[in-house]
Amino acid sequence: MLVVRNAAQVVCVAADGSRRKCGADLRNIHIREQASVILRGERIDWLGPTSALPPLPPYAQVLDATGKTVLPGFVDSHTHLIFAGSRAEEFEQRLRGATYQEIAAQGGGINATVQRVRHSSAAELQALARPRLQRLLEFGVTTVEVKSGYGLSLADELKSLTAIAELNREGPWELVPTFLGAHAVPPEYGHDRAGYLRLLVEEMLPAVAEAKLAEFCDVFCETGVFRLEESRTLLAAAAKLGFKLKLHADELTPLGGAELAAQLNAASADHLLCITERGIDALAASGTVATLLPGTAFFLGMNYAPARKLIERGVAVALASDCNPGTCPTENLPLVGAMACTQMKMLPAEVVAALTINAAAALGRAERIGSIEPDKQADLTIFDVPDYRQLFYHFGVNHVWRVIKRGRVVHAA
Ligand code: NIG
Ligand code: FE
């Protein structure tokens, strides 16, 4: 039994079993002051005012959280952290005026990382990703979605997904694997897009399904990458094989990806920097979560996704890092939250809900994680601040004091 005693704030996020938050409800995060939480095994057993804390057995391990703030462990629902090498030289090229798409068209971008991943073993990919996962954990992230997508051949995608499965077994983090074989057309298929699509549908998707190495399938639906109708074909084939769906939608150009994600009942439509009015309507009428990645807009120097409009129209908004070597090389998810506040005008309470319950919904896990409620999994982060707003106000530094995963302290600052 682990007891988190007398926190200044316990931010429960949900208290009514709600499994996603939309509109005005997004800021309704159920804060308890001077509160304690009892964890039993891997579950949350009790929470309430410290004054009502029941007598504790002598074997209880007690963490004195006086003056501190407890949140559900953050959920990073969109990362590409299985990669090798750095793209710092492209960063400089972009600062000198080249665009992301120009660099990609010259063989840089995603395909530059693909070459490096193809030359790495599964063990090397694991060794490279492990410190990234550790940094995420140290920033309070207890569940991480991880995409493949820098292999782009059957063997290299299986190798990447195997690395994710091994890292998940290692823990203490919990990983959610996504197959993103449709991240780019690899160089050997440069003049044969149809051939790569056939390989994806006829060989790669069935092999990944058979090996049970991915829960989700994602597609980069973008000008110069996969067209809308190609994305529809791929996702429909994936759904038939039992994958849940995600889509990189309307990131750099407005192609109608948000509408497609809503039509296919995808768990999430991600990025949305260029979402149209019709896309917003489609998401609002669907169960699809809009996952916003402001770190990417920051790093590419682009306009941010219209978070306020999405929230006001009733879309369920989540936030994630997009951690990847090309468009957002950071594991600092609370800093991404600060960007959501200052650049997209999200309120700190909305950011907290977007990084917890709605991010869990984007991974189909809101029944189990994303809020502090009795019977949910005991994933908590304790921050050394007396008020949750200070996480984003005092930005760019790490306020984490303890991270608890499945009822166990897995990181102490
Ligand atoms: O989410 N949009 C596609 N994928 C990544 C970029 C990957 C890369 O540049 O390596 C993204 O922005
Ligand atoms: Fe991405």
Q: How many angstroms separate the Cα of 126 from the Cα of each of 82, 134, 162, 283, 402?
A: 8, 12, 9, 36, 25
pLDDT at residue 237 greater than cutoff 80: yes
User: How many angstroms separate the alpha carbon of residue 321 from the centre of ligand 2?
Assistant: 9
**Phi, psi for residue 175 in degrees, rounded to 5:** -110, 145
Q: How confident is the model at residue 224 (pLDDT cuts 50, 70, 90)?
A: confident
Cα atoms in the 13 Å half-sphere on the side-chain side of 313? 19
Question: Is any atom of ligand 1 closer than 6 Å to the C-beta of 248?
Answer: yes
Q: How confident is the model at residue 294 (pLDDT cuts 50, 70, 90)?
A: very high
pLDDT at residue 16 greater than cutoff 90: no
User: How many angstroms separate the alpha carbon of residue 326 from the centre of ligand 2?
Assistant: 10
Q: Which two tokens stand for residue 102?
A: 């120009």
User: How many angstroms separate the alpha carbon of residue 134 from the centre of ligand 2?
Assistant: 20
Query: What is residue 5's predicted lDDT score, i.e. its pLDDT?
Result: 98
Q: Which two tokens stand for residue 55?
A: 């007598």
Of 102, 324, 330, 336, the one to substitute when testing ligand 1's pocket (max ligand atoms within 8 A of C-beta) is 324
User: How many angstroms separate the alpha carbon of residue 308 from the centre of ligand 1?
Assistant: 24
pLDDT in tens, 327-336: 999 999 999 9
Q: How confident is the model at residue 137 (pLDDT cuts 50, 70, 90)?
A: very high
Question: Is any atom of ligand 1 closer than 6 Å to the C-beta of 329?
Answer: no
Strand, helix or coil for residue 242: coil
User: How many angstroms separate the alpha carbon of residue 110 from the centre of ligand 1?
Assistant: 7
Query: What is residue 48's predicted lDDT score, i.e. its pLDDT?
Result: 97
Strand, helix or coil for residue 171: coil
Question: Mean of the pLDDT values across residues 61-68?
Answer: 98
Of 110, 179, 300, the one to substitute when testing ligand 1's pocket (max ligand atoms within 8 A of C-beta) is 110
Question: Is any atom of ligand 1 closer than 6 Å to the C-beta of 251?
Answer: yes
Residues near 224 by beta carbon (within 8 Å), at least 6 away in sequence? 101, 104, 105
Query: What is residue 365's predicted lDDT score, i.e. its pLDDT?
Result: 97
Question: Is any atom of ligand 1 closer than 6 Å to the C-beta of 326?
Answer: yes
Average pLDDT, the chain: 97
Query: What is residue 107's predicted lDDT score, i.e. its pLDDT?
Result: 85
User: How many angstroms separate the alpha carbon of residue 261 from the centre of ligand 1?
Assistant: 18
pLDDT at residue 19 greater than cutoff 90: no
Question: Is any atom of ligand 1 closer than 6 Å to the C-beta of 259?
Answer: no
Question: Is any atom of ligand 1 closer than 6 Å to the C-beta of 322?
Answer: yes
Q: How confident is the model at residue 190 (pLDDT cuts 50, 70, 90)?
A: confident
Question: Is any atom of ligand 1 closer than 6 Å to the C-beta of 321?
Answer: no
Of 76, 77, 80, 250, the one to substitute when testing ligand 1's pocket (max ligand atoms within 8 A of C-beta) is 80
pLDDT at residue 165 greater than cutoff 90: yes
Domains along the chain? Answer: 2-72+370-412 (2.30.40.10), 75-361 (3.20.20.140)
Separation CA 142–CA 175 (nearest Å): 9
Question: Mean of the pLDDT values across residues 79-88?
Answer: 97
Question: Is any atom of ligand 1 closer than 6 Å to the C-beta of 153?
Answer: no
Nearest bound ligand to the CA of residue 100: 1
Query: What is residue 24's predicted lDDT score, i.e. its pLDDT?
Result: 94
Q: How confident is the model at residue 55 (pLDDT cuts 50, 70, 90)?
A: very high
Q: What is the DSSP string of 305-338?
A: P-HHHHHHTT--EEE----BTTTB----HHHHHH
Separation CA 157–CA 132 (nearest Å): 19
Question: Mean of the pLDDT values across residues 172-199?
Answer: 95
Query: What is residue 279's predicted lDDT score, i.e. its pLDDT?
Result: 98
pLDDT at residue 18 greater than cutoff 80: no
Give the full edge-to-edge strand order of the sheet including 141-147: 74-76, 141-147, 174-182, 216-219, 244-249, 268-271, 289-292, 317-319
* Number of other residues whose CB lies within 10 A of the CB of residue 137: 23
Question: Mean of the pLDDT values across residues 83-104?
Answer: 94
Separation CA 330–CA 321 (nearest Å): 7
Is it true that the peptide bond before 306 is cis, omega within 30 degrees of 0?
A: no
CA angle 323, 324, 327 (to 5 degrees): 100
pLDDT at residue 175 greater than cutoff 90: yes
Query: What is residue 346's predicted lDDT score, i.e. its pLDDT?
Result: 98
Q: Going by CA atoms, what residue is nearest to atom 7 of ligand 1?
A: 326
State percent of the chain over pLDDT 70. 100
